[in-house]
Structure 1
Amino acid sequence: MSPALYVPLVTPFAADGGVDYGALEALARDVLAQGADGLVALGTTGEPGSLDEEERGRVAELVGRVCRAAGARFVLGVGDGRRGLGEWAVAPDAVLVTVPAFVRPGEAGVVAHFAGVAARSDVPLVVYHVPYRTGQQLTARALRELAAIPGVAGVKYAVGGIDAETVDLLGDRPAGFDVLAGDDVFAPAMLALGATGAVLASAHLDTAAWVRLAATGDRELGHRLAAQAAALFREPNPTVIKAALHAQGRIPTPGVRLPLLPASPQALAGVRLGT
């Protein structure tokens, strides 16, 4: 079976600054029609911290409904898991839970945290390991400890590169534990090393190509997609992705909410907008 591709959806904003739910639904349907296996709602790319409670609830319900209609997998971002468990109009297949940020609790503290979250969750957890945002590194040994917790199904792995811990983890991946590439630029390399899937914001623009890469491992295609990902992350995510989607006519504005600022024209100029 080919590795699974998940697209963590942006939240489109209308000209008045409100969430454009119609554009969100169209975008969700579009990336699924192009072959994505599932969608992530309210991940970092969706700017959840800038949405109010009602907006977050409507976004989650809409994306969940689209996934259910398409027979696709639905993953919901719930921050570090201390809130937002079990309060869903459409139950997700899994929740994406970040390693607690800023506090840097150490590996033992992270393992204890996820054991507690898993005990309270009715659906499986995907650990979001992104140390350049959280400040907390995890070794392959710690990730194997997390994999042994009942209810922890996998990890979105976004450490900013390919290092010895990456090779260690993928060389002896725990049975039944998904390792999902979460750094777009390094995703082709992660897939080549044995990642079981990917969660990629850049796949908004190149969904079918990323699906093809996951199925074939084509090296030339991997280079092209990595270069496109680098262009899309030249400024803070999801600013350039939103600018590109707007330029393609797929969302009504390139707008983001503070503290983000819209992408610069120079950043957008580096993105390949054609198919």
Structure 2
Amino acid sequence: MTLSGLYVPLITPFDRSGAVALDALETIAHQALDAGARGLVALGTTAEPSSLTTAEQQAVMDVTSRVCHERHAQLLVGANTAQALDALADRPEVVAALTVVPPFVRPGEEGVLAYFTRLAAESPVPLVVYDIPHRTGQYLSAATLHRLAAVPGVMGLKYSPGGINADTIALFAQPSDLAILGGDDTFISPLLALGAHGGILASAHLATGGFVRLIEAWHTGDTTTARLMGGRLAALSTALFAEPNPTVIKAVLHAQGQIPTPDVRLPLLPAHPHTTKTALDAVTAVARPLATQRG
């Protein structure tokens, strides 16, 4: 099994009582797959997992597992500890765990390698390493990422370096069996141009089909479509990440009538109305025919 294409890291919608809106979650999950997403991510950082109770997390898992079973879709799950990984053993729909580089402690690159080697050896499912140094505080070089690719049980990388740098070029220059999924939404087009297999993109809650089309365009060599779509989708992602994720995404989905409230849980605060309006305009722009940009 390989990881490629678009994976949507699902939000956790809340109803007016503050409870998880499971019906809305199920609808959003189906809509993402209807639009061409290869799979879903449950309990990723976009889902606000640290603010969910254990019972809420289990309910989210029940919904996403059922949807992926019904749709024969791939399910990734955010799981960062041995205990969380063990809980996935009875979830046959889960193809991999999305596991972040240990944040805050900054163990060094050798420590990260040792950590993932042990975690992967004990995990009932393969790991997709989530490299996001501007949040974890731990930078990983291209050489270390290639060494991670050789760790048994590590099948992929969610690559979110915060831009394109020399190590990005070095990472893609050397062939590897590691599935590299772009995680910086704004930079997904250049990452695909360099050779990324796909993306785990919160922005793809909106314009899901556009992101699917972007990935397919780069993979098939349709560079004209890829460049035009890449520009539009980068503008959309910039608007959606103008405030902490997933506040703007939730505000836009609520404005579109797709979720009952735009609510997030502390420490997040709701998106500003002006930010929401800018993002809604960007969604509209993505939907325009590409030919209008060529003229």
Q: Which residue of 1 aligns with 2:112?
A: 110
Say yes or no: does 1:178 pair with 2:179: yes
CA displacement, residues 64-114 of structure 1 (integer Å, 9 cap, x when unaligned) = 1101111110000013x3431121452310000000000000000000000
Work out whether residues 2 and 215 of structure 1, in 8 Å CA contact, stay in contact via their aligned partners in 2: no
Q: One-letter code of the match for 2:84? A: G
Equivalent in 256, 259, 271 of residue 263 of structure 1:
271
Q: TM-score, normalised by structure 2?
A: 0.90
Deviating runs (4+, > 6 A) in structure 1?
Answer: none
DSSP-derived class of the 2:83 partner: coil
User: 240, 244, 248: which is aligned to 2:252?
Assistant: 244
- 2:236 matched to 1:228? yes
User: Does the alignment pair 1:219 with 2:221?
Assistant: no
Aligned partner of 1:101: which letter?
A: P
* Counterpart secondary structure, 1:145: helix
Please list every run of 5 or more consecutive structure 1 residues that lacks an aligned counterpart in the other structure: none
Superposition pairs for residues 1-275 of structure 1, below 5 Å? 3-79=4-80, 81-88=81-88, 89-91=90-92, 92-174=94-176, 176-217=177-218, 218-271=226-279, 272-274=282-284, 275=287
Q: TM-score, normalised by structure 1?
A: 0.97
Q: Secondary structure at the match of 2:130?
A: strand
Q: CA deviation at 1:269?
A: 1.3
CA contact (8 A) 1:3 1:215 kept: no
Please give the secondary structure, in 2, of the residue aligned with 1:10.
coil
Which sits farther off after the overlay, 257-266 or 87-96?
87-96
Question: Quick check: 2:4–2:179 contact (8 Å CA) kept in 1?
Answer: no
User: What's 2:223 paired with?
Assistant: none
Compare 110-119 and 211-220 and name the one that shifted more: 211-220
Cα-to-partner distance string for 1:90-142 (whole Å, 9 max, x where unaligned)? 23100000000000000000000001110111111000000111000000110
Distance 2:145 2:272 in 1: 38
Q: CA deviation at 1:3?
A: 4.3
Decide whether the 8 Å contact of 1:248 with 1:273 is kept in 2. Answer: no
Answer whether contact 2:26 2:63 (CA < 8 A) is retained: yes
Following superposition, the deviation at residue 10 of structure 1 comes to 0.2
Structure 2 residues without counterparts, runs of 5 or longer: 219-225, 288-295
More helix by share: 2
SS at match of 1:85: helix
Shift of 1:173: 3.4
Question: Does the CA contact (< 8 Å) of 2:8 and 2:37 recur in 1?
Answer: yes
Do the aligned residues in 2 keep the contact of 1:12 with 1:253 (CA within 8 Å)?
A: yes
Measure the CA separation in 2 of the matches of 1:107 and 1:36: 33
Shift of 1:26: 0.5
Amino acid across the alignment from 2:259: I
Overall identity of the aligned pairs, in %: 51
Aligned-partner Cα distance in 1 for 2:5–2:91: 21
- Distance in 1 (CA, whole Å) between partners of 2:84 and 2:198 is 25
- Any idea what the Cα deviations from partners look like across 1:210-235, whole Å, max 9, x if unmatched? 11111113201100000000000000
Per the TM alignment, residue 166 of structure 1 is displaced from its structure 2 partner at its CA by 0.6
1:167/1:252 Cα in 2 relative to 1: closer, same or farther (>3 Å)?
A: same
Conserved? CA contact 2:82–2:122, under 8 Å: no
Q: Is the 8 A contact 1:65 1:90 kept in 2?
A: no
Secondary structure in structure 2 of the residue aligned to 1:270:
helix
